[in-house]
Amino acid sequence: MIRGRELEKRIESVFDQLNSTRGDILCIRLEVKRVNNGSWIKKQPFDYLVASPKGIFAFDAKECAGDRFYLSSVPLHQRESLLRMQNLGHRAGLVVWFKKWRGHPKAIRFIENLLERHVTVDDGIAFDWDMLG
């Protein structure tokens, strides 16, 4: 797994645009609480929450270099929190950016099945901002 922030920067840019132009959508980035030395004070259940007329969406952004993403790399508290959101009737999962897909760069998928060992670019659905609102 790549620990880059490219996908997160793109999501935050879209969130800024949606929050400033759409009164019917609220996009929230849950901030990690840290102390001065950089260590975590409190872990967040997931990174992003969107409320729109289409419902509530909770997700965490992940990036990987290949065409397979291992769910064991997702912290247990995040998977449990996302599954809890699903059990409450909301859409929740991972937005995974597969940076290389069958020789083509950059496939972004929305993965809701968090109980598998791994997921590939063939799992989930293509991520599209229109699905949020």
> What one-character-per-residue DSSP string does 72-99 give?
GGS-HHHHHHHHHHHHTT-EEEEEEEEE
Q: Global pTM?
A: 0.84
Q: What is the pLDDT of residue 52?
A: 94
Q: Where are the domains of the chain?
A: 6-131
Which parts of the chain sit beneath pLDDT 70?
1-4, 33-36, 38-42, 101-105
Which pLDDT score, from 0 to 100, does residue 71 have?
Answer: 92
Q: Would you state the pLDDT for residue 25?
A: 93
User: Taking the domain 6-131, which CATH number applies?
Assistant: 3.40.1350.10
- 3-state SS assignment for residue 50: strand
Say what the pLDDT of residue 65 is.
82
Note the pLDDT of residue 2.
38
Q: If DSSP codes are grouped into helix, strand and coil, which group holds residue 105?
A: strand
